[in-house]
A = this chain, B = another copy of it.
Amino acid sequence: MRALLLDKELQIVEDYPTPKPPPGEALIRVLLTGICNTDLELVKGYMQFRGVPGHEFVGVVERAPGAEEWEGKRVVGEINAACGKCPTCRAGRPTHCPNRTTLGIAGRDGAFAEYLTLPVRHLHTVPQSLPDEAAVFTEPLAAACEILQQVHVRPTDRVIVLGDGKLGLLCAQVLALTGCDLTVVGHHRRKLDILARRGIPTALEGEPVEAEADLIVETTGHPGGYASARRLVRPRGTIVLKSTYHGSVDADLTMAVVDEVRLVGSRCGPFAPALRLLALGLVGVTPLIEARYPLSEAPAAFEHAARPGVLKVLVDIGK
């Protein structure tokens, strides 16, 4: 099959072996795949990943031995394939299974290829009304929903989202659904306007933003985001950390003690609510799409996605 292979650099391979689903897994024909910041980090060496990247996808189940009812269904899939047997899995935290493989990120080929395999229990049927270019956002939207899974956001809370990247725009839209008093701070008027058109208040970095917020969601992807979040959060407030990047932060944890601030690391989230929000039309994702490329031009798609300020770039796999 045709696949985009990351082996120090990206290349299109025409005769990459088509995967064979092991017991419990399905063979999925990929339709559409999104490029995530994590994919761009993998190209820079993050996780020392070698293989086919890609974890934001929509596809059709081609074969599901022993679970034939799935065949022909259009699906999205949870990306952390857990062992299901270790104490972490048994404690109900499979996304943190120490033996997990992660689609296109660790130990498992991903979705920039004509086919992939995933455990059947990870699949979610896509409602017929939902086009591929919306369904492909399920995985990052689930990561935004994870905030509400971890933190009780009250309708009276004042909330600031830092960052107007792809994840920031999704987090903001999910948080706005709580009725909270939300402001999104970013660097790009063009991107903030996607939210402003939905009625969500925004501010360009440098414009005055009232501090003492109850909740800060840090999505900037930069180490400096932590200091900004600390400056804006109220005593006993919460900072949700969404950014992942190389390196560490020079953090004044003593001030976090004095102000009794709560920091919550937040990663992958639940797919079912993300699909519900998409199906209900409560989150607008198509304005985030900047470009679509065929799989044969996936390296160019990655270059496009890596340019500063660019939002979502999609890769059509079937074309």
Which residues from chain A sit less than 8 Å from chain B, CB to CB? 87-88, 93, 96, 146, 150, 212, 223, 226, 234-236, 241-254, 256-267
Whether B258 pairs with A244 at a CB distance below 8 angstroms is: yes
Whether B251 pairs with A260 at a CB distance below 8 angstroms is: no
Give the docked Cα–Cα distance between A212 and B88 (Å): 9
Give the docked Cα–Cα distance between A264 and B262 (Å): 4
Given contacts A253-B226, A267-B257, contact A88 B262 (CB under 8 A): no
Which one of A226, A236, A248, A265 has the highest number of Cβ atoms from chain B below 10 Å of its Cβ?
A265
Whether A252 pairs with B248 at a CB distance below 8 angstroms is: yes
Give the docked Cα–Cα distance between A236 and B267 (Å): 10
Cβ-closest 7 pairs across A and B: A96-B235, A256-B265, A263-B263, A257-B265, A251-B251, A248-B252, A244-B254
Nearest CB in chain B: distance from A161 CB, A:
15
Given contacts A88-B235, A236-B93, contact A241 B265 (CB under 8 A): no
Whether A242 pairs with B257 at a CB distance below 8 angstroms is: yes
Which one of A234, A243, A256 has the highest number of Cβ atoms from chain B below 10 Å of its Cβ?
A256
Which one of A88, A234, A235 has the highest number of Cβ atoms from chain B below 10 Å of its Cβ?
A235
Give the docked Cα–Cα distance between A229 and B262 (Å): 15
Nearest CB in chain B: distance from A182 CB, A:
19
Whether A261 pairs with B253 at a CB distance below 8 angstroms is: no
Whether B235 pairs with A256 at a CB distance below 8 angstroms is: no
For A234, what are the chain B residues with a Cβ–Cβ distance below 8 Å? Answer: 88, 96
- A–B complex contacts, Cβ < 8 Å, 10 sampled: A88-B235, A96-B236, A241-B253, A244-B258, A248-B252, A251-B251, A257-B267, A259-B265, A260-B265, A263-B263
Nearest CB in chain B: distance from A181 CB, A:
14
A266 to B, closest residue via Cβ = B260
Whether B257 pairs with A266 at a CB distance below 8 angstroms is: yes
Whether A256 pairs with B251 at a CB distance below 8 angstroms is: no
For A247, what are the chain B residues with a Cβ–Cβ distance below 8 Å? Answer: 254
Nearest CB in chain B: distance from A218 CB, A:
9
Which of B93, B146, B260, B265 contacts A264 (CB under 8 A)? B260
| Beyond A88-B212, A150-B260, A243-B253, 4 additional pairs, beta carbon < 8 A | A249-B250, A249-B251, A249-B253, A260-B265
